[in-house]
Structures are given as C-alpha cells and as structure tokens.
Structure 1
Amino acid sequence: ATTREATAIGHVRFPSEIYQQIKAADGMTKKGSITQTAHIAGIMAAKRTHDLIPLCHPLPLDKIGLTFDYNDALSSITVSAIVKVTHKTGVEMEALTAVS
C-alpha cells in the first residue's frame, strides 16, 4: 500500500447573464448555495464511485478536497478535486467523479 493522490478539474459553464447573476449573489439562490450543495454532492460522489462506475473498488479515502472558483473568461465555475488514499490502487476515478 502506498499513498496516492489524484487531481481533477472541470468547468461548469453558464450563459453570461446567468453567470453574472450567480457571481453577484456569491452562489446563493432561493434554495441555498449552489457551491455548498455541489461540495457535499462531490464528497458523496467520490465516496460512492464504486457504486457508480463498474469495476471500481470501494476505497477507504483519506481526503476529498473540493474548491470552486469563478472564471470570468469562460463564464464558468471551475471545480477542482483532490482525492488521497493509502492503498494498492489509485483514486483517479474518485477525483473525476467528485468533479462531475
């Protein structure tokens, strides 16, 4: 078993007008924060990757870190995930699943 780490990055693109509204409200909507909801969903997804993707092993993850940054050039929110584990296999699929 070795310590392994994977990073994944994705962009959630919005129409320019919608992006400006989201940024102006700092992600808050009538139903709550879109980034806080996405943060929880990303963590849950990484932990359940083995249920979502065939042939993935359930892993005892050591860390799941997610960040969300506004990207004005793309009218998007950039989602970054870092996943760590000490095990016999990597965590690339868990990082990709957390971002998606």
Structure 2
Amino acid sequence: MNDRDLYAGLIRLHVLHHASREPLYGKAMIEELGRHGYKLSPGTLYPILHGLENKGYLKSTLERSGRSGRRMYRATVTGRRALASAKHKVRELFSELFEEI
C-alpha cells in the first residue's frame, strides 16, 4: 500500500517550518526531508514550493553568485501565521494519535 499521499501536508508544514527559521533552497530541503525519511525528487518538491508561494506562504528571491543563481525561499508573515495555527492543530492530533501508548 502506498501511503505517501498522507504525508503531503506534513511535508508542506516541514518546509514552512524551515523557511520560517532561515532561507532555504530546493536541494537543501530535499536533503533535509531525506533525513526524516521522505524521498522527494525535484519534480515533486518544486511544485510544492511554488504552490506555497502562490498561496502567499513563501516568498522567493533569486540570489546570484557569479553566473549561477539559486532561488531562496522564506516564510512570509502569512506563512508564519499559518504555521502557528497548524502547530496547535498538529499538537492536538498527535496527542490523540499517541494517547494509547
């Protein structure tokens, strides 16, 4: 059974969490998520980043270094508010999920 679709919201929250702490870029976020057991390709992560930006949760800028550039993502005020709200909901859900333990 493939249950990857259950984790989509968690991945978005994870991205938003890191983007609220410091600027991030796609490859580094793929590596960070990999440390937590998520295996995402650029073809999966970049649409997530673009979607979060389109909804106003992230803002990106192109940072140049010589001839190359890297798109950096940061949480917006809206993104930080959404993350704060989500933390309360996640805490409540997790307490229910683990109350039997």
TM-score by length of 1: 0.28
Q: Which has the higher helix share?
A: 2
Taking CA–CA contacts closer than 8 Å with sequence separation of 6 or more, which of the two structures ends up with the larger relative contact order? 1
Q: Which has the higher strand share?
A: 1
